[in-house]
Amino acid sequence: MGTASILDSLKDLSIQQYKTDVGFRTLVESVDENLYIIPKYQRKYRWSKEQVVALVESLICGLPIPPIYTCRNESNQLEILDGQQRVMSLFFYYIGYYLNKRKNNSINFSEISVEEGRFRDILFKKSELEELHISMQGADGTPVNVDYATLPIELKRRLDFTTITVIEIKVDNEKKKSEVLRQIFANLNRGGSLLSEQEQRNGIYACPFYDMLQDMNRNNEKWRNIWGRQDAQEKDMEVLLRLCALRRYASVKRTLIGFEFVIDGYNSSYVKLLDRFSEEVMSYEDKKIREYQKSLLAFFDLFQVNSKQSSKVALLESFYIVSEKLDVKRPITSEIYNQILASDTYKSYARQGTIKLKSMNERWKTVYEIWAGANR
């Protein structure tokens, strides 16, 4: 969003910040009671155990912890705009359990906190957890256990009252509230290195179209068989968005010697293309959303290969664009996959920059020739 657009969006708008210093125990118990929740546009939790330990050490030593940014929803709950990883890491320390990384690389807390009941009870039902034990170096150099449950009462009380700053953001214009909060989320997270581009989009462009893609990404069995395990940084979600963006902007242009693919407004930057498409889908109505959903589901039905083959992004993209724009609907078999991957033309243009339009054109044409049998 440009400076002029930002200034326009701030007209007749009051944004206020309310700062509160919340004790550690009050914060984590509020999470347990669903007073603090993770909104659906937030990324998955994926901090390593080492990061959790470092945060706990900072808490115990009285070192500053960055503020938590929130906004209050219609149910009078505080949605966490920035600070999910820190808040949930402190919660793990409080309950003495952590993700079993052999079975959970990440977890989507937004799917848990919206349900009724205590957060920890639902967390134990839905996730594979293991005991969390933390030690710090004592004065004599030997390790000292600092698990919350076993802390001496004096230290536990001091820790309970150690404060973390929570900043609540209030927007007085309900019509513009969602737009402003998306911009705040973007500003808070774009400077960090931990958020992938797609994780940022999930927060910035939260809308029914994104809801459809996220539900498909998480729950569609055929897509999961095509891609494999869910990606902690939402790469699989980005691929689905990429396919939809190509459906919207790509077209076939007939030439004297055949045809070529063109992409409206494309300048060798998928980031810009996906951001532009995401802005557009914010206004999509149900009928339009269902058209994209139907297109993706029909595409999934063509696959007869395993995820080790089909998760190659450039080839997935090639099959989809050929299916959509040239109406090829043959089954996608291992034989066809291997034939394409063995093609000298395909291999050559797969190495020459996957986002250059010329390379994309040659890859897509090669897939068309082999898949449709046009070279036979």
- Model confidence over 45-65: pLDDT tens digits? 878 889 999 999 999 998 889
- Model confidence over 310-328: pLDDT tens digits? 558 889 999 999 999 999 9
Show the CA angle centred on residue 269, arms to residues 361 and 238, nearest 5°: 90
**pLDDT tier at 190 (50, 70, 90 boundaries)?**
low
Mean pLDDT of 264-291: 91
**Of 231 and 160, the one with more pLDDT:** 160
Distance CA(174)–CA(151), nearest Å, equals 45
Mean pLDDT of 285-311: 87
Q: Is 41 helix (H, G, I), strand (E, B) or coil?
A: coil
- Model confidence over 134-171: pLDDT tens digits? 999 887 888 999 999 999 999 999 999 999 999 998 87
Q: Is the pLDDT of residue 241 over 80?
A: yes
Long-range contacts of 238-241 (CB under 8 A, 24+ apart): 238/196, 238/197, 238/198, 238/201, 238/274, 239/313, 239/316, 239/317, 240/213, 240/216, 240/296, 241/198, 241/201, 241/213, 241/274, 241/277, 241/278
pTM of this prediction exceeds 0.75: no
Distance CA(176)–CA(60), nearest Å, equals 40
H helix intervals, the chain: 3-9, 24-32, 49-61, 84-95, 110-113, 119-126, 153-160, 174-190, 197-204, 208-219, 221-227, 235-249, 270-281, 286-300, 307-310, 313-326, 334-341, 344-351, 357-371
Q: Is the pLDDT of residue 105 over 80?
A: no
Q: 204: how many CB neighbours lie within 10 A of its CB?
A: 25
DSSP designation for 170? E
Pick the range with the lowest mean pLDDT from 174-188, 196-210, 357-371.
174-188
**pLDDT tier at 122 (50, 70, 90 boundaries)?**
confident
**Of 230 and 260, the one with more pLDDT:** 260
Q: Is 55 helix (H, G, I), strand (E, B) or coil?
A: helix
Q: What is the pLDDT, as a whole number, of residue 3?
A: 45
- The 10 Å CB-count burial string (b at 16+, else e) for 41-55 is bbbbbbbeeeebbeb
Q: Is the pLDDT of residue 269 over 70?
A: yes
What is the percent of the chain where pLDDT is above 70? 85
Q: Where are the domains of the chain?
A: 3-194, 204-371
